[in-house]
Amino acid sequence: MKNVVFPFFVFLIALLSFSSCSNQRIQPPSQPERSYFDNAEPGVQSGGIKMIPIKTPKGTFNVWTKRFGNSPTKKILLLNGGPGCTHEYFECFESFLPKEEIEFIYYDQLACGNSDNPKDTSLFDLDRYVDEVEQVRVALNLDKNNFYLLGHSWGGILAMQYALKYQDKMKGLIISDMMASCPLYGKYADDVLAKQMDPVVLDSIHMLEKKGDTKNPRYMQLLEKHFYSYHICRIYPYPEPVKRSFDKMNMDLYVTMQGPSEFGISGKLTNWDVSAELKNIQLPTLVIGATHDSMDPKYMEWMSHQIPGAQFLLCPNGSHMCMWDDQETYFKGLIKFMKEEH
């Protein structure tokens, strides 16, 4: 009897071991991976897209947002530049942030991209855009436990202004390629960048500006060849998402706020300056600049010293669009910041 029981017992152990190995091979993905790609939307699935009604002094308009991923503690709302560009030039974030399980949210500001485009230029106002971002935050259920705001270029102006008013609603701030002073931005363009250009080309640009002939194709041709290719994006031709975003630029918004080009500033934002207020931002903050930027990288480093506890990231090979032309530095630094305990 013992001889019969023993082989049966050995067979039973082997069977259980095989079953255990089989179960291990068909285990579902780990919980964090499943959580990041989990779709939390009720009802009809929209691919993360949400249209948000925004109340303004001129009525209610809809703005477009799209969530990518799902993280309970790390959600980045992306503020595009211009003003007047679209979210599309941020599409390179899809190649880096999902594998780190960092949620990010595309957002076309009012009069940009997929959002409503009212023609009333009185809506093109910094304080009104700050209020818009707050309405978007509430609609997306972002709060101080998860809400990071990343503003690039004009989006950096908007992010700084928002943080100065609503930092109690935020977890962290990323200022990408934007100075805290438009007068100093203009001075850097005139005193440093302009002097690097061919004097004949510079005279031609200034002549067209004085004539108010900035819609002349020659004006943008000169800027793209002699300025944008060095200081805006050093990849030429532009990456497709960058070109797509630039092609959709709302020029009415851009000219109203910025002026006719990136070569200095002459619109509503000409005198904007919060240099003295940076010390009031009490948030984990990352300031990003680039060696070849249209913004002064030394000044942006100085900004990081004014914000208590802030960090500075320099992209040595990058320009204003350093999330494209120095991706290795940009995303390594951004991800490191997001992985820290805040």
Q: Which amino acid is at 184?
A: L
CA distance 243 to 319: 16
**Other Cβ atoms closer than 10 A to 316:** 11
**Smallest Cα–Cα separation from 177: which of 328, 330, 321, 325?**
321
User: Read out DSSP for 41-55?
Assistant: --SS--TTEEEEEEE
Q: Judge whether 296 counts as a catalytic residue.
A: no
**Smallest Cα–Cα separation from 77: which of 60, 62, 65, 88?**
65
Beta strand pairing call for 285-290 and 147-152: unpaired
Catalytic residue among 71, 231, 320, 326: 320
Note whether 268 and 124 are within 8 A (CB): yes
Let me know the angle formed at the C-alpha of 287 by 281 and 196, rounded to the nearest 5 degrees.
130
Distance of CA 274 to the CA centre of its chain: 20
Note whether 342 and 331 are within 8 A (CB): no
Catalytic residue among 153, 245, 261, 319: 153
Query: Across the strands, what pairs with 312?
Result: 287
**Smallest Cα–Cα separation from 262: which of 214, 306, 304?**
214
Q: Judge whether 293 counts as a catalytic residue.
A: yes
Catalytic residue among 131, 293, 296, 326: 293
Q: Judge whether 320 counts as a catalytic residue.
A: yes
Whether the link from the prior residue into 237 is cis, omega within 30° of 0, is yes
CA distance 50 to 105: 10
Note whether 79 and 158 are within 8 A (CB): yes
Q: Which amino acid is at 144?
A: K
CA distance 321 to 230: 11
Give catalytic residues, as residue numbers. 153, 293, 320
